[in-house]
Amino acid sequence: MRVLLSTIWTNLQDSVSKQDIRGQIWDYMEAQNLADFPRPVHHRIPNFKAFKMARTVKVNPDAPQKNARFFVLNSKKTLLVPTPRLRTGLFNKITPPPGATKDILRKCATSQGVRNYSTPVGLDSRVLVDLVVVGSVAVSEKGWRIGKGEGYADLEYAMMVSMGAVSQGTPVVTVVHDCQVVDIPETLLEEHDLTVDYILTPTRVIATGCERPKPTGIVWSKISCEMMGRMPVLRSLRCREERAGKDVTLRDTRRPLPSLESGSVQGEDVPSCTVYVGNLPRDARVSELKRALSARGAAPSRLTWQGPQRRAFLHYREPAEAWQAISRLQGFCLGANTAKVALARQQGASGPAGGRAGEPHPDP
């Protein structure tokens, strides 16, 4: 195996990239039949057969960590699992039924079990994570890690830092096959990349002694408007940090985008699909606005025109589309006027006089 791993690394020496390393690891594991379901392993965290695990509290939701989640539950510890792709929040606490057998615990550890036996943990919960377990595609003995390229483990850790759930002293563990332990050039690491303190393989436990600082919070310049639309938890965290005076400028905007005033991730903060466009010219026509929106690639599925108020509301099918439109309309001008563009929120029944319940209005 050492010879084969050396061959992998030799092939990676010239102009190496993270994707080069992922591809070589995935190809090798497929060729050697080292992975269990789901197959193929490409674009996944490989789920190796020989699986060892240590004590933990937070374990990622991917299939390869199913045994780790079972180990935690069987040890009668608290298990926190991030919501898949962070669509509905950050954490779920897995609570097996009273008197659960090992078979039931194994079901609780599956993706279906996570959905059926979990309760949300909000951002205001004073949760402390004692150990973090993440998956990896490749990892070095120095503790440098490469995931499958979507950045969720890095983002989850950064969110936990922001809510005070972890600190620089919280151990981070990854569980991989021996073939996934390779040299990784330090030049590939970025400030948001999460490093690991321990590597568990079928044959050994590696204490990396990594001294590279872990992320100290969310790097907002790495977050896109599209991500904000998909992950309401990000919007809530961004709002908090904006109020605290932090720079929350997003990756694809020149200035901070307006954020929703308030809202809990767990069912209280409903993503808006409507964009407010104000400060339109007094003589503007709806046809003129529609043409300008199309030219910017921000044509809505429906448009509410309020010419006398010099404004319009653009209605999109998904929150992600609304955030993308806001990004594309930064600096948008119609005639001689620079339009004001913001995410609209739904006005409740007790809204300002003259407004109808459920009518969108600008988010101040």
At 206, is the secondary structure helix, strand, or coil?
strand
CATH of domain 54-207: 3.40.50.10420
pTM value is 0.58
CATH superfamily of 274-343: RRM (RNA recognition motif) domain (3.30.70.330)
Average pLDDT over residues 75-94: 82
The residues, any chain, with a CB within 8 Å of residue 155's CB and separated by 6 or more, are: 86, 192, 218
Question: How much helix, strand and coil, in percent to the nearest 5, is found in the chain?
Answer: 30, 15, 50
Alpha helix segments (H runs only) across 111-230: 111-116, 152-162, 225-230
More confident residue, 354 or 155: 155
Average pLDDT over residues 21-44: 55
pLDDT digits (tens, 9 = 90+) for 291-345: 999 988 899 999 999 999 999 999 998 777 887 788 788 778 898 888 998 888 6
Domain ranges for the chain: 54-207, 220-253, 274-343
Alpha helix segments (H runs only) across 81-224: 102-108, 111-116, 152-162
The tokens describing 44, both together, are: 């996944």
pLDDT digits (tens, 9 = 90+) for 236-293: 888 888 888 888 888 765 444 444 433 333 333 344 688 999 999 999 999 999 999 9
pLDDT digits (tens, 9 = 90+) for 163-172: 888 888 888 9
